[in-house]
Amino acid sequence: MWSQIKPAALGIFAIGLLAACGFEPMYGGTTRGSYGNIATEDKLAQVTISNIPDAEGQHLRNELMDRFYRRGRPVQSTYTLQVAPLKETETNLDITIESESTRAQIRIDTTFQLVDNNTGAAVLKREIRAFNSFNVLGSQFTTFVSEQDAREATLNDLARQIETQLILYFGQK
- How many domains does the structure of the chain reveal? 1
Q: Distance (Å, rounded) from C-alpha 11 to C-alpha 16?
A: 9
N-term to C-term CA, the chain: 45
pLDDT reported for residue 34:
39
Instruction: Note the pLDDT tens digit of each residue in 79-118.
Output: 999 999 999 999 988 777 777 778 899 999 999 999 999 9
Domain that holds residue 155: 42-172
Per DSSP, what are the bridge partners of residue 157?
none
CA dihedral sign of residues 24, 30, 31, 37: positive
Do residues 165 and 124 make contact, with C-beta atoms less than 8 angstroms apart? yes
Burial class (CB in 10 A: 0-12, 13-18, 19+), 117: middle
Q: Rounded CA gap, 67 and 61, in Å?
A: 10
- How far apart CA 79 and CA 108 sit, in angstroms, is 25
- Strand partners for 131: 107
CATH number of the domain residue 75 falls in = 3.30.160.150
18 within domain boundaries: no
Residue 33 belongs to a domain: no
Is 29 within the bounds of a domain?
A: no
pLDDT in tens, the chain (173 residues): 555 556 666 666 666 665 555 555 555 544 434 333 356 778 888 999 999 999 999 999 999 999 998 877 877 889 999 999 999 999 988 777 777 778 899 999 999 999 999 999 999 999 999 999 998 888 889 889 999 999 999 999 999 999 999 999 988 76
User: Is 4 inside a domain boundary?
Assistant: no
In a domain, 3, yes or no: no
